[in-house]
């Protein structure tokens, strides 16, 4: 136990870490400090870096994009670019999005839910006014609370859902502020007839849905028409399995989110919010299903992805993180809506590449090629040695730690022998 770690000076915190962890003084001395990031979180230690790369050849709603992606998984950017290129040749993605967000006031101990629902609906305009008065600046920007819905949850509980246009912001803080005012007002107005329990944003953002489509002439996935037909059919079947089996759907959706998360991180967006919304939406029918479907229609492979994407172009860390600002310059998106449409397209491209590999040669062949560099480094190769070792590693019967160590040793021995001669 440590009391008041957050109140300690930085040097006292480092001293505490030296005494209570395995970090050495040298290691602690090397931690860099970003003074802006230090203000963003509690108990800041240092910055943690992840690789960032660019996925290319995205065409969304007829506009070309280079997409910054932050990910530690070697195959993600290659797969996104691969999927994007195929769809680009087919004319690109068509993507559309709506960006309302929902807050909820959860109430309990209700005697007559139907009567209370009717009364709450009668004061809908007042509820919207209370919400808007709690955050007037979003109204000035053209947004604000738009409508309400009252849902009977059973068990003497109701949810008063408030739909809010948060413009360019993701809106969690805006909505939480609004819900606190609305909740307090409801408690006062309906005193003795209900208990207001929770006042907060819902991350099941099904009113911030992005729908992405693409229609791919099958010869773009294989120039041999018969093979292309077979592959397209297998891709459609793989997507069907994600509709009828939740175990498969979880992996299917993870592939989609591989791409979506990477762009969300690169653009300073809240990927936890996206993840929870995506999974909740995938289970909304009562069964967890794949978020995308693929069908073959008249020698075309047609993909559709529907996913909540409550993303932002301002707020949170977006405005203050320099790298995020640079990534917006790479991406050249002008609005949160456009960002959602590009991010959704990355999800569908990622899904296409994964299913194409899975239905074709299998996922491991490509995956392991891309993992090879990480495998060599994890087993002691220096970054500058990696290129000279790759082809040898590919020729090993199995690509694993033992094989990597063998290759490293071989290359180094050969180099040492060469130096001696
Ligand atoms: P902020 O609290 O940063 O609010 C965004 C602010 O940006 C607005 O209040 C507004 O301030 C300003 N702004 C400037 N230009 C615009 C514009 N064109 N449109 C809209 N706003 C504009 O962020 P959010 O309310 O969006 O909340 C997002 C943050 O909340 C994220 O960091 C998220 O991780 C976190 N969060 C998430 C939760 C969840 O998902 N459950 C819960 C709690 C927090 P003004 O109008 O006053 O100038």
Q: What pLDDT is recorded for position 3?
A: 94
d(CA 48, CA 354): 28
d(CA 161, CA 197): 14
Considering only CA atoms, which of 264, 354, 367 is closest in space to residue 52?
Answer: 264
Q: What is the phi/psi pair of residue 26, to 5°?
A: -60, -45
**What tokens were used for 298?**
């008249």
Q: 290: which DSSP letter?
A: -
Task: State what percent of residues in the chain have pLDDT above 70.
Answer: 98
Average pLDDT over residues 367-377: 77
Q: Mind listing the pLDDT tens digit for each residue in 255-284?
A: 999 999 999 999 999 999 999 999 999 999
Sign, CA dihedral 125-126-128-132, equals positive
**What tokens were used for 104?**
């909820």
Q: What pLDDT is recorded for position 398?
A: 82
Residue 377 has pLDDT above 90, yes or no: no
Nearest CA to ligand 1 atom 43: 172
The answer to whether the beta carbons of residues 404 and 412 sit under 8 Å apart is no
Nearest CA to ligand 1 atom 6: 315
Average pLDDT over residues 392-416: 86
d(CA 255, CA 351): 6
CATH 3.30.1240.10, applies to 365-419: no
Q: How confident is the model at residue 363 (pLDDT cuts 50, 70, 90)?
A: low
Residue 91 has pLDDT above 70, yes or no: yes
Of 104, 138, 166, 315, best ligand 1 pocket probe by most atoms within 8 Å of the beta carbon: 315
The more confidently predicted of residues 360 and 137 is: 137
Q: Mind listing the pLDDT tens digit for each residue in 36-50?
A: 999 999 999 999 999
Q: Which residues pair with 53 in a beta bridge?
A: 69
Q: Is the CB–ligand 1 distance for residue 203 below 6 Å?
A: yes
Q: What pLDDT is recorded for position 421?
A: 66
Q: Is the CB–ligand 1 distance for residue 273 below 6 Å?
A: yes
The answer to whether the beta carbons of residues 178 and 129 sit under 8 Å apart is no
d(CA 154, CA 156): 5
Instruction: Please tell me whether the overall predicted TM-score, pTM, comes out greater than 0.75 for this model.
Output: yes
Please give the sequence-ordered ranges of beta strands (E in DSSP) within 309-374, or none if there are none. none
Distance 309 CA to ligand 1 centre (A): 15
Q: How confident is the model at residue 415 (pLDDT cuts 50, 70, 90)?
A: confident
Per CATH, the number for 100-202 is 3.30.70.420
Mean pLDDT, the chain, as a whole number?
94
Considering only CA atoms, which of 164, 149, 162 is closest in space to residue 98?
Answer: 164
Distance 325 CA to ligand 1 centre (A): 16
How many C-beta neighbours within 10 Å does residue 406 have?
A: 15
What are the catalytic residues? 73, 254, 270, 367
Average pLDDT over residues 305-313: 98
The answer to whether the beta carbons of residues 406 and 377 sit under 8 Å apart is no
Distance 332 CA to ligand 1 centre (A): 21
3-class DSSP assignment, residue 17? helix
Q: What pLDDT is recorded for position 417?
A: 83
Domain segments of the chain as ranges: 5-39, 52-94+208-361, 100-202, 365-419
**What tokens were used for 255?**
């592939």
Q: What pLDDT is recorded for position 70?
A: 98
Residue 406 has pLDDT above 70, yes or no: yes
Q: Is the CB–ligand 1 distance for residue 314 below 6 Å?
A: yes
Q: Mind listing the pLDDT tens digit for each residue in 210-250?
A: 999 999 999 999 999 999 999 999 999 999 999 999 999 99
**What tokens were used for 13?**
């915190």
d(CA 374, CA 26): 26
Q: Is the CB–ligand 1 distance for residue 315 below 6 Å?
A: yes
Q: How confident is the model at residue 376 (pLDDT cuts 50, 70, 90)?
A: confident
67-104 as b/e, with b when 16 or more CB fall inside 10 Å?
Answer: bbbbbebbbbbbbbbbbbbbbbebebbbbebbbbbbbb
Q: What pLDDT is recorded for position 362?
A: 64
Taking every pair of Cα atoms in the chain, the longest distance, rounded to a whole number of angstroms, is 94
Q: Is the CB–ligand 1 distance for residue 175 below 6 Å?
A: no
Q: How confident is the model at residue 306 (pLDDT cuts 50, 70, 90)?
A: very high
Same topology, domains 52-94+208-361 and 365-419? Answer is no
Q: What pLDDT is recorded for position 366?
A: 63
Of 314, 317, 320, 338, best ligand 1 pocket probe by most atoms within 8 Å of the beta carbon: 314
CATH 3.90.770.10, applies to 52-94+208-361: yes
Distance 231 CA to ligand 1 centre (A): 44
Q: How confident is the model at residue 105 (pLDDT cuts 50, 70, 90)?
A: very high
Q: Is the CB–ligand 1 distance for residue 316 below 6 Å?
A: yes
Q: How confident is the model at residue 365 (pLDDT cuts 50, 70, 90)?
A: low
Q: Which residues pair with 55 in a beta bridge?
A: 67
Nearest CA to ligand 1 atom 44: 172
Residue 109: partners with Cβ closer than 8 Å, 6 or more residues away: 156, 194, 195
Residue 173 has pLDDT above 90, yes or no: yes
Q: Is the CB–ligand 1 distance for residue 102 below 6 Å?
A: no
276-308 as b/e, with b when 16 or more CB fall inside 10 Å?
Answer: bbbbbbbeeeeebbbbbbbebeeeebbbbbbbb
Average pLDDT over residues 352-370: 79
Q: What pLDDT is recorded for position 283?
A: 98
């Amino acid at each position: 136990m440590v009391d008041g770690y957050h109140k300690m000076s930085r040097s006292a915190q480092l001293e505490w870490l030296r005494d209570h962890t395995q970090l050495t003084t040298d290691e602690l001395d090397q931690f860099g400090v970003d003074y802006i990031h230090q203000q963003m979180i509690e108990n800041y230690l240092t910055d943690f870096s992840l690789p960032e790369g660019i996925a290319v050849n995205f065409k969304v709603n007829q506009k070309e994009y280079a997409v910054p992606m932050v990910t530690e998984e070697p195959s993600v950017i290659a797969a996104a670019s691969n999927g994007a290129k195929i769809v680009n040749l087919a004319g690109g993605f068509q993507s559309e999005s709506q960006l309302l967000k929902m807050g909820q006031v959860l109430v309990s101990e209700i005697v007559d839910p139907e009567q209370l629902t009717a009364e709450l609906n009668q004061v809908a305009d007042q509820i919207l006014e209370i919400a808007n008065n709690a955050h007037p600046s979003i109204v000035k920007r053209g947004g604000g609370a738009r409508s309400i819905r009252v849902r009977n949850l059973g068990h003497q509980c109701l949810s008063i859902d408030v739909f809010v246009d948060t413009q360019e912001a993701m809106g969690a803080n805006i909505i939480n502020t609004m819900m606190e005012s609305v909740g307090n007002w409801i408690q006062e107005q309906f005193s003795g007839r209900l208990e207001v329990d929770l006042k907060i944003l819902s991350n099941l953002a099904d009113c911030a849905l992005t729908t992405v489509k693409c229609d791919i002439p099958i010869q773009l996935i294989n120039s041999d028409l018969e093979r292309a037909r077979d592959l397209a059919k297998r891709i459609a079947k793989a997507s069907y399995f994600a509709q009828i089996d939740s175990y498969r759907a979880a992996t299917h959706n993870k592939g989609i989110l591989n791409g979506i998360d990477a762009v969300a991180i690169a653009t300073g967006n809240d990927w936890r919010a996206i993840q929870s919304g995506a999974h909740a939406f995938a289970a909304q029918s009562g069964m967890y299903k794949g978020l995308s479907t693929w069908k073959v229609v008249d020698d075309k492979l047609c993909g559709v992805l529907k996913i909540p994407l409550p993303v932002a172009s301002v707020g949170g860390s977006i405005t203050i993180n320099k790298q995020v600002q640079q990534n917006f310059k790479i991406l050249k998106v002008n609005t949160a809506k456009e960002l959602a449409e590009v991010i959704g397209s990355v999800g569908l491209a990622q899904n296409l590449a994964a299913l194409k590999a899975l239905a074709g040669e299998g996922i491991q062949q490509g995956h392991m090629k891309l993992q090879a560099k990480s495998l060599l480094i994890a087993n002691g190769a220096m970054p500058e040695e990696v290129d000279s070792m790759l082809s040898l590693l590919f020729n090993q019967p199995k690509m694993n730690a033992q094989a990597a160590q063998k290759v490293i040793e071989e290359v180094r021995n050969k180099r040492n022998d060469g130096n001696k001669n």
